[in-house]
Amino acid sequence: MKFKSFIGLGVAIALLSTGLSVHAADESCAPFSDVDAGTVYCLSIDYLKNQHIVSGYSDNTYRPYQEIGRAEFTKIIIGAIFDTTTIDSCMQGVTDEFFTDTSNSEWYAKYLCVAKEQNIIAGYEDGSFKPGNSIVLSEASKIILNTFGLSMDSIDSDPWYKRYVDGLAYAKAIPVSLKRFDQNINRAEMAEMVTRLRTTDFAQNSQDYPTLNSISNPEENTTKYSAYIISSTDVEGTVEGYLFNDVFDFVISLKGKSDLKLEAQLSDGTGKNLPITMTYDDSSAHWRGHGTWNDLSSDSMEALKGGDFQFEANEKTIIGTLTQDNNIFTDFAIYDPAKEDDGVWEEDVTALKAILDEFGYTYTVVDAEDINKGRLFNEEGGYKSILMPGGWAYTRSLRINTDGKEHLQDFLKQGGNYVGFCAGAYFAAGTIEFATEATGGGGIYAQESDYIDYSEYYNNDLLTTGSIKGPFGWFPWADGANLNYELAHINTNNQTMKTIGLPESTRFLYGGGPFFEIELSQEPEGYEVWVYAQKPDGPSNEASIGDGKPAVIRYHYGEGNVILFSYHPEVLIGSDRDNIDSLTQYYQEDSIDWNRGDQSQDDINIDNWNIVHAAVQIGANEMPTPMGK
């Protein structure tokens, strides 16, 4: 197996020539505030910093365990080989975009330019590059081999990435922390791979293609295990692993607070324990650990096959049932990342859990990583529905990447359901307009010119026709009083509304949600309107934007249902039925002058939960029925 070097655009790429090793133990390694001698691949990160290949973030962090995106990975790899003159001059005279989803005005453009000119990258068959998506080992191996000017004499390329993985393995440049071809690479692993190639550190252990293939494409004697780890208050998450021959390879991902004292080990139930180093990833608010258990005894293997497996964290023993059928789904998934700035209204999540508990449905909290990696369903089954709570749709649109949005679409096409409240409805938009100011405050109402097109920031296309627009033109969004009851006109001609018995007019809790503009010719399959927005008598006619427009809708997407609420009927006022004593997050319940009109608080609360109950029943693939009191 031989390598061939490569000369490109006047840049001679000298490779595997320095003979320098950087992996000798060094307790003083501390290149960034979050990287020290205890950090995996610290010396490689330190090397890249000293070589001015990486500089970290403005707060002097490096975030070693944060997954690295395709554009950022390309930037660093190109920067590791090509000089700044070549990179900075590449965009001269370039007018055409490189891919359908990239922009020449973005920070990564000049690096993509070099990569395209050198035939290092080609993108996907649909013409996209997916710059924000996390890069996986198979893709990274091709970019690295092409950039560093190496190609394999071997023509064996079935699958296409085999020659590139073989090349990295020959150079001993695949860290042992990488277990699968489709594994996302983090920033520490990227540093280790580049450093090994630049310093010819052949003394390091490396993965090879046969080992990776045995895990990524398990044979009949390989069993896949998945388990949810459940704790009362501290942590929750997943263990995923493969048992092949006498080796158990696993990955642990747990949601929990960064200051949690977390010590972990896996126990096979026969007295054999394997300590696990858990590391906190601030970017995703996850604790992560991985390991390989070699030479399992026959008793240990039987314990694994029987599902008798334990996980210990924070001095508590937590049982995680490993299931060979990989069917570990509850009725509902609720989107709620653990990170504080995740764009989710936590009191809304509390209310959603309360209504599911009251009506006997099971649920699991999921986050962007779960959606991005397609964990809503598999060959064996899936959640019946995902609930998207209120908050800020833009934040979750950043966290849920292109793959995640495609997984959501596939989830719906195969029969999953989606129920979104306020921000959860905005998140479903293909076309979205939002008025951030001058809505209702001091008698100044929203004009059409106040609604700005934000579609490019979302690009989800769950709602493929028409547009989403908000908030209501009369609603005081900008003056701080941004939560109250709004009149709602119930579509009593709709069969679902007839069935649950809502009155023709009621009030729903509202906090700036959207209304829907869908022409008759644009209506999606199964489209029906449950509720229309209704402007109160007080505001002037200038405040009519949104009046009479659909505010709660349902339609089909593939085999699934989508139900979108402008309102927050899941959150109750003056009642602890939703497990919220009194609103304190974002809103002070006691300081709001509630617009109840001539309705009692109890009647409003019953109407609010009645319509949510119907949506939840449809989300559970059941026929809606009246909730009752």
Domain 219-319 has what CATH class? mainly beta
pLDDT at 232: 43
Local confidence band at 13 (pLDDT 50, 70, 90 cut-offs):
very low
% of the chain at pLDDT higher than 70: 72
Residue 150, pLDDT > 80, answer: no
Write the class of the CATH domain 332-429+475-619. Answer: alpha beta
Stretch 484-496: mean pLDDT, rounded?
Answer: 95
How far is residue 427's CA from residue 421's CA, in Å, rounded to a whole number?
A: 9
Whether the pLDDT of residue 529 is over 90: the answer is yes
User: What ranges in 218-345 are assigned the alpha helix state H?
Assistant: 298-305
Residues 6+ apart with CB under 8 A from 177: 40, 189, 290
Residue type, 319: I
Cα-based distances in Å from 606 to 292, 501, 596, 609:
53, 11, 13, 5
Q: Where are the domains of the chain?
A: 3-215, 219-319, 332-429+475-619
User: What's the whole-number mean pLDDT along residues 350-361?
Assistant: 93
What's the mean per-residue pLDDT of the chain? 80
Contacts of 628 (CB under 8 A, 6+ apart): none
Which residues partner with 418 through β-bridges? 386, 562
Rounded to two decimals, the pTM is 0.64
Q: What Å distances lie between residue 565 and 194, 434, 516, 553, CA to CA?
A: 48, 16, 10, 7
| Digit-coded pLDDT (tens) for 567-589 | 999 999 999 999 998 888 778 88
Integer Cα distance of 445 and 543 in angstroms: 5
Q: How far is CA 356 from CA 309, 360, 366, 419, in A?
A: 29, 6, 15, 13
Q: What is the pLDDT of residues 281-334, one digit of tens each?
A: 665 667 777 666 666 666 666 665 554 455 555 555 554 544 444 456 889 999
Residue among 331, 335, 327, 415 at smallest CA distance from 378: 327
Q: What is the DSSP string of 319-347?
A: E---BTT-----SEEEE--SSTTSSB-HH
